Structure 1
Amino acid sequence: MKKIFLFFGIAYLFYGCSVYMASKSEGMKPLEFQKNLAKCNNRTCVLLMGPKVISSTKHSDGTMTEEYRFAIDTGATSRAVMHGLLDVATIGIWEIAGTPIESSKQKNSYLFLKITYDKDENIIRTDIR
């Protein structure tokens, strides 16, 4: 009987972890990123989107090329709801499988972007990788 209480006690500690991990959102969805980028016409607008600058090269003709890294959002509401339903249906036991599954899905995904600016920091060319 003690083992059963211990098991449910440990399962309760993890209750909701997979739900939180599935709904956690960092960065932007790829389509949202493309829409926002299409609206940008200068360097300031791009930097306000929150990229990490990887490299910046100033050319002799006054143009500049910068490479950025954007985090891609991997959170999904539908996945979080499913984890929540499975938690309730299994009285928290699902967390034993759900948390490691979500932990393995939480690998960071990135989108890389190379932008060339003119001397006034207006966008000339964009390359998405």
Structure 2
Amino acid sequence: MKKKIVIFLLCLGALTSLQGCSAVMAASGTKEANLSAINKGDTRAMVFAKVGQQPARVINNSNGVVEIYELERGNEPSTGRAVANGALSLFTLGLWEVVGTPLEGMKGEKYFLTVYYNQNEILEKYEVSATRPN
């Protein structure tokens, strides 16, 4: 009998340690970049400020600079989703995490922004694509 109680408490501890993963994922999503704010003639610093993150890749060539940003849409941080995931996890003693964590992991869609600057680091053009540029 004592052994069963210890096993039960260990299982309960393991389940409660899982609690919060989906809630944390919902609360710490990625804010979508406002690409409509980017305009031809913007400086490199202005584009960086508008996109809000570091480029994944920078290519320097004789014509100027090319920056490639890896962005995500559809995964905004949500307090409501975080509270709901936390409550469901609490009420189900952590069992919700088996469903909630993969659901939160599937949120969002990656896309790529390629920005072309001239030698003076002034934006010439930009392209948005679903696949990583070469």
Task: Report the TM-score, using the length of structure 2 for normalisation.
Answer: 0.66
Task: Determine which of 15, 18, 29 is the counterpart of 2:19.
Answer: 15
Instruction: Tell me the distance in 2 between the aligned counterparts of 1:83 and 1:50.
Output: 28
Q: SS at 2:82's partner residue? A: helix
**How large is the RMSD of aligned CA atoms in angstroms?**
3.0
Matches within 5 A, 1:1-129: 1-2=4-5, 3-26=7-30, 28-29=31-32, 32-38=33-39, 41-48=42-49, 49-59=52-62, 63-72=63-72, 74-77=75-78, 78-99=80-101, 101-102=102-103, 104-105=105-106, 110-129=110-129
Once the two structures are superposed, what CA deviation does each residue of 1:51-97 show, in whole Å capped at 9, x if it has no partner?
325242433xxx42403123326254143232122123323332243
Alignment match, 2:132: none
Q: Is the 8 A contact 1:72 1:109 kept in 2?
A: yes
Unaligned runs of 5+ in 2: 130-134
More divergent stretch after superposition (77-86 vs 36-45):
36-45
Once the two structures are superposed, what CA deviation does each residue of 1:10-63 show, in whole Å capped at 9, x if it has no partner?
11111212211222234x31xx4314434971112223432325242433xxx4
Instruction: Tell me the distance in 1 between the aligned counterparts of 2:11 and 2:47.
Output: 50
Q: Is the 8 A contact 2:71 2:113 kept in 1?
A: no
